[in-house]
Amino acid sequence: MAKPFLKWAGGKSQLLKELEKRLPPLIKKSKVIDCYVEPFVGGGAFFFYLKRYYVIKKSYLMDNNQDLILTYRVIKRQPAKLIKKLSFLENKYSKYDNVKRQDFYYDIRNKFNNQSRKFDFNKFSDEWINRASLLIFLNKTCFNGLFRQNNSGDFNVPHGRYKNPKICDVNNLNKVSKALCDTKIICGDFAKCKKYVISGSLVYFDPPYKPLNTTSSFTAYTKSGFCDKEQLRLAELCKECSKKNVYVLLSNSDPKNEDMSNNFFDEIYNGFNIQRVMANRMINCQGDKRGQIKELIITSR
């Protein structure tokens, strides 16, 4: 019964039923997934949902965000130590007034960013546990629960000013750890998934969404961003996978929300099954641009 342990822009909690509807009939009937691969894991909403209702024999979660993957690995291996550090941060933060909370937040953010410049992301240590606790703290107390990096790779989201943020969710962190116990967690470019995809695999791609306009151009989950060139490269990978008896499931924004003549995805996923579903857009600098909007769910058959 695990659920995402981070707030994540573009999280799929609201689309879970729509995604499940589009699973292969054999998987829906047997409730068994032989091999599940998710190259843009983010908050992991769909993975945790599938773990709840399906038997997953093999699973591979990937992302290019080093800190996100580090945190997944820490929760998998050392949930108790992480919970101890998060509890300390939560207790300290909860006792402060708004001014001191803000000061504490920016102190943690500076510490997190300064640590990035000399951090060893390759060798597991107690420093990993500490860094994971800082990331979760920032995620739970920053504005809108965003993870955003500037060109230098620094986390730059401002303080969120929530009244009672749940920084340390002990129950869920333990459930997440159990859900991850037999899962391989990999840091790297999405193309790396080819190493793990086998015939009969279910691969779910949830890349940073193509911006619909300049006010919604949020793709800064990593300092490198995710441009149209990357979207095209991903489409080629999806085609490659679909030729190997692999079931591809992909979600993205629908440019037709802004321009009905924009056939970007219709063209690059020509031959795939492209469907449009309604979802809530929660992040936009203009309040009147939030609300119901169409999103794409694309499948290989």
- Whole-angstrom Cα distance, residue 7 to residue 34? 29
Which of 136, 169, 202 delimits the end of a domain?
169
Per-residue pLDDT of the chain (301 residues; tens, 9 = 90+): 899 999 887 667 889 999 999 999 999 999 999 999 999 999 999 999 999 999 999 999 999 999 999 999 999 999 999 999 999 999 999 999 999 999 999 999 999 999 998 999 999 999 999 999 999 999 999 998 888 988 888 999 999 989 999 999 999 999 999 999 999 999 999 999 999 999 999 999 999 998 886 554 444 445 556 899 999 999 999 999 999 999 999 999 999 999 999 999 999 999 999 999 998 865 444 444 456 889 999 999 8
**Judgement on whether residues 96 and 153 belong to the same structural domain of the protein:** yes
- pTM for the whole structure: 0.92
**Judgement on whether residues 20 and 47 belong to the same structural domain of the protein:** yes
Residue 98 and residue 75 in contact, taking contact as beta carbons nearer than 8 Å: no
- Whole-angstrom Cα distance, residue 120 to residue 170? 27
- Whole-angstrom Cα distance, residue 283 to residue 151? 21
Instruction: Answer yes or no: is 264 within a domain.
Output: yes
**Judgement on whether residues 56 and 100 belong to the same structural domain of the protein:** no
Residue with tokens 């490659």: 240
Q: What is the CATH number of the domain that holds 94?
A: 1.10.1020.10
- Whole-angstrom Cα distance, residue 86 to residue 91? 9
Please tell me the total count of domains within the chain.
Answer: 2
Which residue range forms the structural domain that includes residue 109?
A: 69-169
Classified as helix, coil or strand, 203 is strand
**Judgement on whether residues 53 and 84 belong to the same structural domain of the protein:** no
- Whole-angstrom Cα distance, residue 47 to residue 164? 28
Instruction: Answer yes or no: is 256 within a domain.
Output: yes
